[in-house]
Structure 1
Amino acid sequence: METNPIRLTEWSEGSGCGCKIAPAVLDQILAASGSFSQTDPNLLVGNSQKDDAAVYQVSDDLAFINTVDFFTPIVDDAFDFGRISAANALSDVYAMGGKPIFANAILSWPVEKIPIELAAKVLEGAKSVCKTAGIELAGGHSIAAKDPIFGLSVNGVIHPRKIKTNRESKEGDLIFLTKPLGIGVLATALKRQKIQEKDYLNLLDTACRLNTIGSVLGNHEEVHAMTDVTGFGLLGHLIEMAEGAGLSAKIELNKLPLIEGIQEYINQFIFPDNTYRNWNAYSPKTKGVQGMDLVKLCDPQTSGGLLISVSPENKTWFEETIKSQNQVAWEIGCFTAKEEFVVEVVQ
């Protein structure tokens, strides 16, 4: 961790994707603005669905993907802030099964209070991740404002018939997750200056890892649906998948992958305030959660893993495909017929 006299997290009340507007409030905003009413037949995915990115068809075999994602600092180091922000934004294109082609930066910076050299470091970090993804950071827009904010607008491409939405799961499908949970917990430990060096490195390793496997899985019909886990936590994004498909889901708590060391912080009640916001929003739709297990389920993730819905007969194929791409995935449950509760957590 770099020694930096300016702690970027001091400039953010909520960090990373934890600063998202609450789900119910966002729905009210979109409904009041008429954003759910979209009539262009070429807009294949838009606000009428709760998906990760917009998709617009331009020909029989080509569609463009666009997403925009930005947030306040989740770490103190400017270079690492840029890396995490870029990986998080790119994830939305991967979650649709697409291939990123270029990105533009979104930068808000208090130029009179935080050195502009740190803003340059943020951009440098983002460029490093874009280079890993094989794309250019082509341009962007910046403003002088009181809060440091950074993110990307990412453009990608996909075949119109290969789009992976978050609402096409089938009854019996297995649910896989490609990153361990706990990014929000570790980010909060950092903000409170309680984090250990090894745990900070685990935070970076997880949050900066690209979900490139999504663009591979976009080519395979055996994968029915995908989304990425971000500010609404595992539970929120799983509920979106289940409700979108008219199903329920059952997950096994002991199968959830966790970043090493997060339980120690949870035991000290170190986790984001928005964990409770997520729980309050989704608990009426959930069965089987006991005590502080809600933290693991509702921890806001920034640049979290992909949630993937795979037909059970293709489990072996999926696991071999993941392995061949030097990726990992954990089987955490399955989709079931619609029941009283959207998600059941089995202890």
Structure 2
Amino acid sequence: MSTSGEQAVKLTSLSQGAGCACKLPLAKLENMFSSLGANLEGASGEMLIGASEGDDAAVYRLDAERALILTTDFFTPIVDDAYDWGRIAATNALSDVYAMGGTPIIAVNLTAWPANDVPMEQLSDVLRGGADIAREASCFVGGGHTIDDPIPKYGMAVVGMAHPDRLFQIDRLTAGEDLVLTKAVGTGVIATAIKNGGARQEWIDAAVGSMTTLNADACAIAGGAGVRAATDVTGFGLLGHLHRMVRASGLSATIDAAAVPTLPGALEAVDRGYVPGGTKANTDHLSDVVGVADGVPSAVAVLLHDAQTSGGVLMAVPKEADTDAVVAQLRAKDLPAAVIGRVTEGTAGHVTVTP
């Protein structure tokens, strides 16, 4: 951390008891949205994707060639280095634009900061981290909004652009498509280990490296392969996001647990009990729609439900495309991509996990 002057405050200690950095539990969100009913704006006219579709971002058609993508995301600290937290939060916020098949073009910062308790130099480091990631993405940052809050939070509201006929959506799966994941899972358990002082430095370095890797290359490669169904893996975990995709598409899926890449230290973190509340909530909520075979190691099953921050892209490769070539292109960009399963006919929303 580059903070100078006043002594740096351990940022993760300020979010203890505030919940994890992931989204609210899937069950509570689904119940809340269902209660809103007709008050939710869905696809209509030039509004291609709205709240009721449950996709990664809202999309509005400007004309035949351009669609505007709007999204936002922010959360409490999951690492103690302020600059890294800023980079992670910005990468995570930009991810929803890539997950829709778009390109981010402009963003504004969203910041809550305990100005009397934490040096402003640390906030400067957070914003500098966010700005550096946005610059890497060629996304302009035009200011933002800051409030005083006892628990620090940071993120961005982001506007992106895409072609309306080349959007990625969660309800476009087709039976027989291969499922490819572009990043390793385990950021939730590693972040919990960090908060509790149990993470080794090599775990932290690998997790930060993953969480600050933009999904831009994954988006470009997916678009080139003709992908139409994709999402990014965040707070609902790999199985939670896949469940939402197959449910929206009226299909099922199988996952090969052994094929799913995991971050260094993630399995050990689970074995040592560093499992966040969001991961446990995901497991409970999905118990009726996810079938885990007896041969799947319990720690691996936890990671498949693990609440992620700035995770990879989960994409369905069209049957006419060469899946091996897609994975090779992703790995050439230093992404630990793997074929992890397949879309199948069956009960809508059901996922089977095999050893």
What is the TM-score with the length of structure 2 in the denominator? 0.92
What's the CA shift for 1:252?
0.7
Query: Equivalent residue for 1:30?
Result: 33
Q: For structure 1, list consecutive stretches of 5 or more residues without a partner in the other structure.
A: none
What's the CA shift for 1:313?
3.8
In the alignment of these two chains, the number of paired residues is 346
**2-structure distance, mates of 1:318, 1:309:** 11
**1-structure distance, mates of 2:86, 2:136:** 13
* Matched-pair contact (CA < 8 Å) for 2:104–2:159: yes
* Matched-pair contact (CA < 8 Å) for 2:247–2:350: yes
What's the CA shift for 1:214?
4.1
Query: Equivalent residue for 2:10?
Result: 7
What's the CA shift for 1:5?
4.4
Flag the 1:185–1:323 CA change in 2: closer, same or farther, 3 A: closer
Query: Equivalent residue for 1:207?
Result: 211
| 1:167 corresponds to which of 156, 168, 171 | 171
**1-structure distance, mates of 2:348, 2:35:** 29
* Matched-pair contact (CA < 8 Å) for 2:93–2:158: yes
| 2:318 corresponds to which of 292, 304, 311 | 311
* Matched-pair contact (CA < 8 Å) for 1:163–1:218: no
What's the CA shift for 1:17?
3.5
What's the CA shift for 1:294?
2.8
Identity level (%): 36
What's the CA shift for 1:40?
3.9
Query: Equivalent residue for 2:300?
Result: 293
* Matched-pair contact (CA < 8 Å) for 1:35–1:48: no
What's the CA shift for 1:221?
6.0
Once the two structures are superposed, residues 260-297 of structure 1 have per-residue CA deviations (whole angstroms, 9 ceiling, x without a partner) of: 22222211111212211010111110112553433111
**1-structure distance, mates of 2:229, 2:221:** 10
Q: Secondary structure at the match of 2:180?
A: strand
* Matched-pair contact (CA < 8 Å) for 2:279–2:305: yes
2:344 partner amino acid: T
Matched, 1:334 2:342: yes
Once the two structures are superposed, residues 237-277 of structure 1 have per-residue CA deviations (whole angstroms, 9 ceiling, x without a partner) of: 01011111111000111111001222222111112122110
Once the two structures are superposed, residues 208-234 of structure 1 have per-residue CA deviations (whole angstroms, 9 ceiling, x without a partner) of: 111012441464463131100000111
Query: Equivalent residue for 1:345?
Result: 353
Flag the 1:37–1:136 CA change in 2: closer, same or farther, 3 A: closer
1:58 partner amino acid: L
Q: Secondary structure at the match of 1:278?
A: helix
**1-structure distance, mates of 2:34, 2:162:** 29
**1-structure distance, mates of 2:128, 2:237:** 28
**2-structure distance, mates of 1:306, 1:125:** 22
Q: Secondary structure at the match of 2:231?
A: strand
After the TM superposition, which residues 75-224 of structure 1 pair with which residues of structure 2 at under 5 Å, given as runs? 75-217=79-221, 219-220=223-224, 222-224=226-228
Instruction: Kindly report the root-mean-square deviation, in angstroms, between the aligned alpha carbons of the 2 structures.
Output: 2.0
| 2:59 corresponds to which of 48, 55, 61 | 55
* Matched-pair contact (CA < 8 Å) for 1:90–1:154: yes
Flag the 1:107–1:346 CA change in 2: closer, same or farther, 3 A: same
| 1:65 corresponds to which of 69, 77, 90 | 69
**2-structure distance, mates of 1:67, 1:237:** 17
Q: Secondary structure at the match of 1:251?
A: strand
Q: Secondary structure at the match of 1:223?
A: coil
1:293 partner amino acid: V
Matched, 1:248 2:255: no
1:111 partner amino acid: A
| 1:322 corresponds to which of 324, 330, 340 | 330
**2-structure distance, mates of 1:75, 1:345:** 31
**2-structure distance, mates of 1:337, 1:220:** 26
Once the two structures are superposed, residues 137-184 of structure 1 have per-residue CA deviations (whole angstroms, 9 ceiling, x without a partner) of: 111111112211110011110111011111101100000000001101
Query: Equivalent residue for 1:228?
Result: 232
Q: For structure 2, list consecutive stretches of 5 or more residues without a partner in the other structure.
A: none
Once the two structures are superposed, residues 88-131 of structure 1 have per-residue CA deviations (whole angstroms, 9 ceiling, x without a partner) of: 01110001110111111100111111111111111001011111
What is the TM-score with the length of structure 1 in the denominator? 0.94
Matched, 1:284 2:291: no
**2-structure distance, mates of 1:297, 1:247:** 19
**2-structure distance, mates of 1:179, 1:191:** 22
* Matched-pair contact (CA < 8 Å) for 2:42–2:53: no
Flag the 1:35–1:216 CA change in 2: closer, same or farther, 3 A: farther
1:53 partner amino acid: A
**Which range moves more in the overlay, 132-141 or 289-298?**
289-298
**2-structure distance, mates of 1:122, 1:16:** 18
**2-structure distance, mates of 1:121, 1:262:** 27
